[in-house]
Amino acid sequence: MEALYKKVGESGENSGETYHYLGKTMFIGEYTYKIDDKKRLAVPGKFRSALKKKAVITRGLERSLFLFPKTEWEKMAEKMNNLPFVQKDARGFARIMFAGAMEVEFDSLGRILIPDYLKEYASLKKEVVFAGVHKRIEVWDKKMWEDYKKRTEDEIGNIAERLKELGI
């Protein structure tokens, strides 16, 4: 019987992997990197290998950025395109996601340039955390990530209860 999960790559110092689940890429783990003096940011190799040569970065939730493989961005874009444009929330969400989106290419060392408007949105300073979240990668300012993670960890029991009520 074929395993549902298949590990791709080696274990990293900061526990992060790219896995395949039923043939689809799944991002997990977290890595901390620094923005260099030329404003470039290296993307973890384990994530980069699944992103290929290009990816799409855009505004995320809770002041993070979302980094999508091109194929996942296309799926997300199609879902947003199918939202009812007469609904104010749908228009606002689509505007923020599409207007903030930019295709990024990796240089020979696996670095990308994040546009200034996205760095400002996410309050990115020197240290940045890449968090694998299934089909996307979230990019956080390290301090903001640690604060968010602490608040969420403190509430994880309550969150689990609420999700249980939703059948999750």
**45 class by beta-carbon count within 10 Å (0-12 exposed, 13-18 middle, 19+ buried):** middle
Question: Can you give the residue range of the structural domain that contains 129?
Answer: 5-142
pLDDT above 50 for 146: yes
CATH of the domain at 53: 3.40.1550.20
Bridge partners of residue 26, in order along the sequence: 19
Whether 156 maps to a domain, the answer reads no
Using one digit for the tens of pLDDT, what is the confidence trace for 28-65?
A: 999 999 999 999 999 999 898 889 889 999 999 999 99
Total structural domains in the chain? 1
The region of weakest confidence among 3-7, 86-90, 92-96, 115-119 is 3-7
One-letter amino acid at 111 equals R
The pTM of this model reads: 0.84
Sign (positive or negative) of CA dihedral 114, 42, 53, 61? negative
Q: Roughly how many angstroms between the first and final C-alpha of the chain, as a whole number? A: 26
Rounded mean pLDDT of 162-167?
A: 84
- What integer is the mean pLDDT of 60-76? 96
